[in-house]
Amino acid sequence: MEQRLLHIYNLMYEKAGPKNWWPADTSFEVAVGAILTQFVSWKNVVTAIDNLKAQQLLSVEGICEADDERLEELIRSTRFYKQKVRKLKSFCMLLREKYGSCPDRFFEQEMYALREELLKLYGIGEETADCIILYAAEKPIFVVDAYTRRIFNRLGFFEENIRYREMQEFFMGNLPHDTRLFNEFHAQIDGIGGHYCFSKKPDCMECPLGVLCKFKKSNRATAPVRQDAQATVKRK
């Protein structure tokens, strides 16, 4: 199974090249981006992060001390900005109260202890927590998402109703636990989901995984169509 998964990875990598995720100046900025990118395109997150930087608020203390209304205006581009301000405040208050406002101390924890702590925070689900662990803390946890479910269902690996944890355990049980590999593998999957493997009318003719795809071979796949990248493709 490891060889099959690495073959899929290599097909994607050869088509797209390295994704170089996650672009940020600091691990804290990565974590903020992971929270803000829920349900919105990455370009909107960049706008919000640039706004926070311009106002010198992209820090634990800056976010903790800023008025909610001010933060809401600065991150308005990310949608659901009121809830996201609450999420950012919850995360930053934890860092301030328990880790002396030092993100590195927080990220130095054992991987699953870090995950457990993140999942206790308001608005932090499994995918966001795992993105923070993989891309900010640089620990080898495999991030899965809706693209992973769709693509690997069409490749014949998963049922459509597979749970997040089941998907994650599949990859982590069949791949070497290497942070760089997990980083790039998830990025490549999101690239395929955003550019080829659409929920409707996928572009199977151009997709590098078409040679392996049971969905394509079943004749249910349609002809290529022009479509913008899925909004949740992140960190490009």
Spell out the domain ranges in the chain: 2-19+142-217, 27-136
Find out whether 107 and 114 touch, Cβ atoms under 8 Å: yes
Q: Tens digit of pLDDT per residue, the chain (236 long)? A: 999 999 999 999 999 999 999 989 999 999 999 999 998 999 999 999 999 999 999 999 999 999 999 999 999 999 999 999 999 999 999 999 999 999 999 999 999 999 999 999 999 999 999 999 999 999 999 999 999 999 999 999 999 999 999 999 999 999 999 999 999 999 999 999 999 999 999 999 999 999 999 888 776 555 454 444 434 444 44
The pTM assigned to this predicted structure is 0.90
Find out whether 91 and 120 touch, Cβ atoms under 8 Å: no
Find out whether 214 and 156 touch, Cβ atoms under 8 Å: yes
Write the class of the CATH domain 27-136.
mainly alpha
Distance, first Cα to last Cα, the chain: 29
Q: Is the peptide bond before 22 cis (omega within 30 degrees of 0)?
A: yes
- Which ranges in the chain belong to alpha helices (H)? 2-16, 27-36, 42-54, 60-65, 68-74, 81-99, 103-107, 111-119, 126-131, 146-154, 164-174, 179-195, 214-217
Tell me if domain 2-19+142-217 and domain 27-136 are identical in fold: no
Instruction: Provide the pLDDT for residue 130.
Output: 98
- The closest of 55, 57, 74, 76 to 65, measured between CA atoms, is 57
Instruction: Provide the pLDDT for residue 221.
Output: 53
Instruction: Provide the pLDDT for residue 227.
Output: 46
| CATH 1.10.10.10 assigned to 2-19+142-217 | no
Q: How far does CA 46 lie from the centroid of its chain? A: 15
Phi, psi of 212 (to 5 degrees): -110, -5
Looking at residue 72, its amino acid is: E
Rounded to the nearest 5 degrees, what angle is found at the Cα of 131, between the Cα atoms of 79 and 118? 85
Instruction: Provide the pLDDT for residue 149.
Output: 97
